[in-house]
Structure 1
């Protein structure tokens, strides 16, 4: 959810948190030496303690809150945690046959936290792990996207024809049209692309 905030908001929050933390350290140091910490530093220490507790509670309990208040999934971002099963359809053409390859059975695992998101994609021949994820709201069309970059690591038996590579992809969620489906597209450093279609299996 952190990535939904604008850069200015993120920077402002980091600066304020850093300033409060510095004052809080000064307050702890003063109290340890049995000195007067001052009202501002004492308040900073209290705000830091309360803020840390609230962040920990929010990190642990946001999914419960999302289940109790479904509107949050539409106004902020939906809970997409879990395993999603389906297929990849590559645009790659086999030079020996001149035909595209068959759809590839695929499992995608989304691990979504309050401050981070990761995507793992696994097929019979390789596994991809996200290196960075960005959440995007598309309120004008009522959809949500996870954009991510990834590293792909094929199994040893196929590396003679499928080398490790990097790529970018997105997964799009439309709660009105398909509340249990993700569709998307990927682009690889090998100059190939493909479509992703998966449906929700289990929620983690």
Structure 2
């Protein structure tokens, strides 16, 4: 994921690559079609720029999954593809009570963003912040996750929406887990297993 790279360097590399590509397109057009007017040359160059822009948008939003599967080293270099449905067990503690709840987590991921929604019998949650990172010492993929829980009125004793945060670590490509804390002074542990994983 691009958020793991220094933003100023990413912008610089993309801007330079974009400018060089446009200059190459203009140079090729002038070489192949010397009879074109400057206006016609710019029109063709900007048409090429538009096509390049559409290609970049396609890669950023859709084709990145294909790129990740075609180049497995990107899972180690940047961040693995964790998109999909996950089975989730929520181990919770509230004052002198504790228990566990099963839920389903749906992780959506593009090259630029990541979100996780959690659905259980008593509540649903939505992402406020999901920030992929790597542990500086081990390089292990981690997900900083800040969320809002909206209890279902007829199924929960929570009463009103509340916020929570968790640090989830990827043990392998099919297992995420970590501790969480909420604004209701509850705490616990999330354990996620990719749906369909054996």
Place the TM-score, normalised by the shorter chain, in its bin.
0.7 to 0.9
Q: Does 1:185 align with 2:179?
A: yes
Q: Which structure 1 segments of 5+ residues have no match? A: 21-34
Aligned pair partner of 2:112 in 98, 112, 115: 115
How many residue pairs match? The answer is 180
Deviations 1:132-156 (A, max 9, x none): 2211022531311121221111001
| Cα separation, 2, equivalents of 1:44 and 1:150 | 42
8 Å CA contact retained: 1:137, 1:143:
yes
CA contact (8 A) 2:153 2:159 kept: no
Give the 3 Å change call, closer, same or farther, for CA 56–78 of structure 1 in structure 2: same
Give the 3-state SS of the residue equivalent to 2:166 in structure 1: strand
Are residue 156 (structure 1) and residue 159 (structure 2) matched? Answer: no
1:140 aligned residue: 137
Specify the SS of the correspondent of 1:174. strand
User: What is the Cα-based RMSD across aligned positions, in Å?
Assistant: 3.1
Whole-Å Cα distance in 1 between the matches of residues 50 and 70 of structure 2? 28
Shift of the 184–146 alpha-carbon distance from structure 1 to 2, 3 Å rule, reads same
TM-score norm. by structure 2 comes to 0.74
Contact 1:147 1:170 in 2 (8 A): yes
Structure 2: runs of 5+ lacking an equivalent: 20-36
CA distance in 2, matches of 1:102, 1:163: 20
TM-score of the pair, normalised by structure 1 = 0.72
